Amino acid sequence: MSNSSIIESEEHTALRAAVAALGRRHGRGYDRETLWREAGKLGYLGVNLPEEYGGGGGGIAELSLVLEELGGAGCPLLLMIVSPAICGTVISRFGTDEQKRQWLPGLADGTLTMAFGITESDAGSNSHRITTTARRDGDDWVLNGRKVFISGVDIADATLVVGRTEDARTGRLKPCLFIVPRDTEGFHHSLIEMELQAVEKQFELVLDDVRLPAGALVGDEDAGLLQLFAGLNPERVMTAAFALGMGRYALDRAVEYAKTRQVWQEPIGAHQAIAHPLAQAHIELELARLMMRKAAHLYDAGDDTGAGEAANMAKYAAAEACVRAVDQAVHTLGGNGLTREYGLASLITAARVARIAPVSREMILNYVSHQSLGLPKSY
């Protein structure tokens, strides 16, 4: 790992400052569509995508930085995790020339959005239990199945759906990725009512004899898990960025409050019972950010195995740091921390998302137990 991946380059520092300025202009009461359009026009949504298709030619290191800074300003764009990071990466690495021409320029400038459909109610974290199937019918593919907790399907132009095809030689099912345009016949979505207050909504998908042309299949039918995990590692890095931004936003509000709120002779921030937990939250966020940078650096360098471990660790560390930072921020403000005026209470639920999605902290601990430590599996 080079020093430049630990200590930011001038280009990254400049990008961070520019995105932070954009975020501050929009702030906590942001309009998602307006911010998405502006970020797209400025080139921030596609910094990781190839220059020949209108992207910035960078990597997940740059894209995660953009999401973190928008989150730090109180206006994170959740679909950055899905559209340019997962779908853009998968199409860049494995798509046909036609798929790249059709989708990448729009994903880069934000005029096209793509959702990602993997989760199923009976599969959970076990992607081997996915039951959405794809079968050949002449030159076409026919998909059947259901998905749950799919973000932004209502506003996405298409969804990258994980299905399973039958291997003609072994008869075993293997994962494959298909681009399903939103208006495809038999492709239905219904809103899932969430307690979580978020701009992006969650949906259940039903694929009922969804017929797709041969060109809807992304990449090699036999590549399977390789292609799938090419999108999942960036997803974990970006979730870490999402959590870090949220944690930083909450911590900044708490620090501002602790500097000015005066009950006795000194501001409450002078009391170590207030100051030390905030300092601890800052330390934990900074440590998680270092691991996120490492994960992004390894992924962009082409080290998928190393990136897998680091991305899982970064997501775990950032989620834990975010939850603790938000909790301490709300606690620092006392009753004000629960008011709509200060806008922190809603983050209590939002912070929990980073612990649960896209993979739970328990499954990350399983991964580290098996992959890093070589301990035997319990399942």
Instruction: Burial-class residue 339 by CB neighbours within 10 Å (0-12, 13-18, 19+).
Output: exposed
CA atoms within 13 A on the CB side of 197: 8
CB-facing half-sphere around the CA of 346: CA atoms within 13 A? 15
Query: What's residue 130's pLDDT?
Result: 82
Class in CATH terms, 225-372: mainly alpha
d(CA 341, CA 29): 11
Q: CA nearest 160: which of 228, 254, 111? A: 228
Whether the ω angle into residue 358 lies within 30 degrees of 0, i.e. cis, is yes
Q: What is the pLDDT of residues 176-223, one digit of tens each?
A: 999 999 999 999 999 999 988 788 899 999 999 999 999 999 987 776
CA pair distance 365, 218, nearest whole angstrom: 31
**Domains in the chain: boundaries:** 3-113, 115-218, 225-372
Q: Which residues pair with 205 in a beta bridge?
A: 147, 189
Per-residue pLDDT, 261: 93
What does the DSSP assignment read for 151-174?
ETTTT-SEEEEEEEEE-TTT--EE
Rounded CA-CA distance 289/217 in Å is: 35
pLDDT tens digit sequence for 82-94: 999 999 999 999 9
Domain 3-113 class in CATH: mainly alpha
Instruction: Establish how many alpha carbons lie within 13 A of residue 173's alpha carbon, considering only the half-sphere containing its beta carbon.
Output: 14
Q: Can you list the residues of the chain whose pLDDT is less than 50?
A: 1
The dihedral over CA atoms of 315, 65, 60, 247, expressed in degrees to the nearest 10, equals: 10
Cβ–Cβ < 8 Å for 119, 161: no
**Phi and psi of 256, rounded to 5°?**
-55, -45
Superfamily of domain 115-218: Butyryl-CoA Dehydrogenase, subunit A, domain 2 (2.40.110.10)
Could you tell me which of 169, 341, 318 has the C-alpha nearest to residue 253?
Answer: 341
Q: Which helix (H) or strand (E) holds 140?
A: strand 140-151
pLDDT at position 323 is 98
Residue 227 is predicted with a pLDDT of: 76
Please name which of 166, 164, 153 lies closest in space to residue 205, comparing C-alpha atoms: 153
Region of 219 please: left (phi>0), alpha (psi -120 to 50) or beta. left
pLDDT at 8 (0 to 100): 86
